[in-house]
Amino acid sequence: MLNTLFFYFLSAIAVGSAILMVTRRNIAHAAIFLVTALLATAGIFLQLQSEFLFIVQVFLYAGGIMVLFVFAIMLLHLEPAGGLPKFSRPQIVAVTLTLVLGAQILYAVFVGRSSLRLPALQGNISPQNTEAVGDALFHQFIVPFEIASVLLLVAMIGAAVMAKRRV
Amino acid sequence: MLSIAHYLILSLALFTVGVVGVLARRNLIIMLMSVELILNAVNINLVAFSRLHGSVDGQAFAIFVMADAAAEAVVCFSIILVFFRNRGTVRADEMDLLKW
Amino acid sequence: MQTYVLPAIYAVIVILALPLLAGCVLIAERQFRAYLQGRGNSEAVKPGLWEPITEVTKLLMEEDAIPSKADPVVLWAAPVVSLMVVLLAFSVMPIGPAFHLADPNIGLLFIFGIGSLAVHGVVLGGWASNTQNSMTSALGAAAQLIVYGAVTILGVLSALLLSGSLSMKEIAQAQLERGQWFIFYVPVGFAAYFLGSLRITTSASFDSASPGNESDKAFISAYRGFRRCLYLLAGYMNVILVACIATTVFLGGWLRPLAGYRDRFPGTSVELLDVLPAMVMMGAGIYFFWRARRLTVNIRRTGGFLVAGLCVVAAALLLGVLFTSEGFMQGVHGAFWFVLKACAYIYFVFWFRFEFLPAHRDMLSRLEWRMLIPVALVNLITAAVAILTSQDTGLPMRLTTLLATAATLGVAWWLFKNPPEELAAMRAGGE
């Protein structure tokens, strides 16, 4: 019961923040709403009993990537973002197409309810989530792990080189 | 009484909002933030399915998605920075040098 | 519902007691600085009994001035974010063996993860006031938070290798099993954590070498009244939080010094060293009584005697608790040792900050950048090598970690002697 309540509460915050984020004119406000959406997603991870992913999401996304976004927005001194005025044609086309896509996937989920056997989530997760994820990362997924670290190194170097002022 | 359909629909909603953000907004930074939202929707999906099957593979993959999103955000931001320095604006409409 | 009673009590205690404690830390810092600067005996610095409360009242009575074109919603939200971060981090802090709000498996990572959100509180605070000075100073403070947060995490990681678990309770328990506090196993890690924590706790409140409340370049200058009160509260609760983390990870948490020494008084079930808390409080009571006798102002004398009396009562309580059940005694004594160690850490932080920090700030930060992070990384590697060696070859852990510390200090010495060119030029030119 409490579980379901938490899920609905967190989903409402996540979807509401997301909608608010894509409709703001002020970029800084949009960034704040993205932070709340990411924190709500972290809550969903916690509710799915994956606590390690919860804290990695808070640490990495809300406390890392969003700090990058907020720093960049502060430093760039951008004027308030004018989007196009509302109800312009490209926007209406975009929203309609996306809603059609969403409706298709929703239909697939509903139709496949019986045939895909989407069961209720059982309570059979071991409590040592961090150990299990660490175990998987270092035994099964060791190669992607090393490649991801090289990827991050390359991204850092590339970004630093690209953003330097050439004097 | 929460089935996996709940999480799928939540992930779908976030994905839809993210796609609308990418398609309908003209500001590069908001487009980048919408892409982060899409990646988060995919993460929710992965973790929900990992919980369904009781294996940790989905969560490990979600961590890689997060690392990838971090790298991508960093590189995209430096591109936006260079663009802003040259053009003075971050609107996607102004990126038209290669237009015929 | 039964399992929610104790955490609820703990949550209420945290929310009620911590702001008061943060006020006391503020007063203590001021007093300490006054004594170190030689002006401790003037009447203006002696605190009254209600000093924390008068501080807050003074802040609340200020005019609530908002800069023009400031963003009203974010202006209110930013100090709340800072405060929320610190309060959340206290929820997993174990003051005694069973005295915590929650003990998740990821306890320490939870604290650092939630602490990474503190950067948002600072940056949004600077941005919301829409003044140039505020924004630049907030970005500087946030950059300092990020870098020194990374340094503290590197320091704590080396102690984490020894405990094998992220849960705060198990880290303190592991210090009992390993035989000594982790500060003796990885002193370089503790030094890294200490230096990092110095810079974290100065950054969010002020921006210079603590000129007091009225620096006009700090980002907090745009905040008046209750919002400034929230920022200062978050800053000083951060000090307490950092001390509590250091106590749990490095100083043994709720463990008594020499916790493995279990000799008892002959005939009773009371352990020998368990009378130490009562003795400490009794000593404190006698000292306050002695000092209070020489005070001249009547109200201060009464206050001094009151404090002395409270100390004696506490000593009696601590002694009496020895004869109750084991769990209760562990809880009360654990809380005493925890608070004592946290206070000692805060004292050490204040002293160190006063003695060594007001140097040229940019030179200091560059020195720390070049030396602190490499040394912390090397310490992590050598500590890991030491632990593995002692596991594989059976050498005692104390020996291998001692060698690892010596190796790390050798690397630090080499780094100090062979600095990069900029650093040498800076040291030669601008000393």
Do C116 and C167 sit in the same domain of this protein?
yes
Does residue C415 carry a pLDDT above 90? no
Q: In whole angstroms, what separates CA C367 from the centre of its chain?
A: 23
Is A137 inside any structural domain?
yes
Which chain B residues are closer than 8 Å to A65 by Cβ?
36, 69-70, 73
Number of domains comprising chain A: 2
**Is residue C110 within 8 Å of C104, Cβ to Cβ?**
yes
The predicted model gives C268-272 an average pLDDT of 67
Do C225 and C282 sit in the same domain of this protein?
no
pLDDT at C209: 36
Residue ranges making up the domain that contains A67: 1-81
Q: How far is A55 from chain C (nearest CA, A)?
A: 6
- Residue type at B67 in one-letter notation: A
Which bin fits C69, alpha (ψ -120 to 50), beta or left (φ > 0)?
left
Do A66 and A132 sit in the same domain of this protein?
no
Query: What whole-number distance in Å separates Cα of residue B19 and Cα of residue A162?
Result: 28
- Kindly tell me whether chain C and chain B come into contact, counting contact as 3+ Cβ pairs under 8 Å: no
Is B19 inside any structural domain?
no
Is B13 inside any structural domain?
no
Give the torsion through C-alpha atoms of C247, C249, C254, C257, to 10 deg.
Answer: -80
**Is residue C386 within 8 Å of C406, Cβ to Cβ?**
no
Query: What whole-number distance in Å separates Cα of residue C7 and Cα of residue C128?
Result: 36
Do A76 and A131 sit in the same domain of this protein?
no
Do C225 and C279 sit in the same domain of this protein?
no
Does residue C410 carry a pLDDT above 60? yes
Does residue C278 carry a pLDDT above 70? yes
Do C177 and C148 sit in the same domain of this protein?
yes
Q: Contact A61/B66, CB-based, under 8 Å?
A: yes
Q: Which of C331, C347, C363 is the last residue of a domain?
A: C347
Is B83 inside any structural domain?
yes
Q: Does C45 touch chain A (CB under 8 A)?
A: no
Q: Does A67 touch chain C (CB under 8 A)?
A: yes
Q: Which of A81, A108, A135 is the last residue of a domain?
A: A81
Do A6 and A71 sit in the same domain of this protein?
yes
Number of domains comprising chain B: 1
Is C410 inside any structural domain?
no
pLDDT at C39: 78
Do C304 and C339 sit in the same domain of this protein?
yes
Is B74 inside any structural domain?
yes
Q: Compare all CA atoms of chain A with the CA of B14 and give the residue at the minimum distance.
A: A15
pLDDT at C208: 39
**Is residue C336 within 8 Å of C311, Cβ to Cβ?**
no
Does residue C380 carry a pLDDT above 90? yes
pLDDT at C252: 86
Do C188 and C337 sit in the same domain of this protein?
no
Residue ranges making up the domain that contains C297: 272-347
Q: Contact A67/C119, CB-based, under 8 Å?
A: yes
Is C174 inside any structural domain?
yes
Do C224 and C150 sit in the same domain of this protein?
yes
Do C223 and C341 sit in the same domain of this protein?
no
The predicted model gives C254-275 an average pLDDT of 72
Is B47 inside any structural domain?
yes
Does residue C326 carry a pLDDT above 80? no
pLDDT above 90 as % of chain C: 16
- Among the listed residues C398, C406, C403, C410, the one whose alpha carbon sits nearest the alpha carbon of residue C162: C398
pLDDT tens digits along C199-243: 887 654 443 334 445 555 677 777 877 888 888 888 889 999 999
Query: What whole-number distance in Å separates Cα of residue C189 and Cα of residue C162?
Result: 12
Smallest Cβ distance to C106: which of A52, A62, A66? Answer: A52
Q: Does A52 touch chain C (CB under 8 A)?
A: yes
Distances (CA, A) of C66 to C207, C211, C226: 20, 23, 12
Does residue A115 carry a pLDDT above 60? no
**Is residue C233 within 8 Å of C83, Cβ to Cβ?**
yes
Does residue A9 carry a pLDDT above 90? yes
Do A67 and A1 sit in the same domain of this protein?
yes
Using only C-alpha atoms, chain A has a radius of gyration, in whole angstroms, of 20
Do A1 and A77 sit in the same domain of this protein?
yes
Residue B66 pairs in a beta bridge with: none
pLDDT at C263: 67
**Is residue A159 within 8 Å of B85, Cβ to Cβ?**
no
Task: State both tokens at C188.
Answer: 């370089």
Smallest Cβ distance to A63: which of C106, C116, C127? Answer: C116
Kindly give the parts of chain B with pLDDT less than 70: 1
Is A104 inside any structural domain?
no
Residue ranges making up the domain that contains B50: 28-92
Do C236 and C311 sit in the same domain of this protein?
no
Number of domains comprising chain C: 2
pLDDT at C204: 43
pLDDT at C425: 67
Query: What whole-number distance in Å separates Cα of residue C98 and Cα of residue C346?
Result: 24
Do C199 and C325 sit in the same domain of this protein?
no
Q: Contact B70/A152, CB-based, under 8 Å?
A: yes
Is C431 inside any structural domain?
no
Better-predicted residue by pLDDT, C53 or C150: C150
- Which residue has tokens 């206050």? C303
Q: Does A162 touch chain B (CB under 8 A)?
A: yes
Do C173 and C304 sit in the same domain of this protein?
no
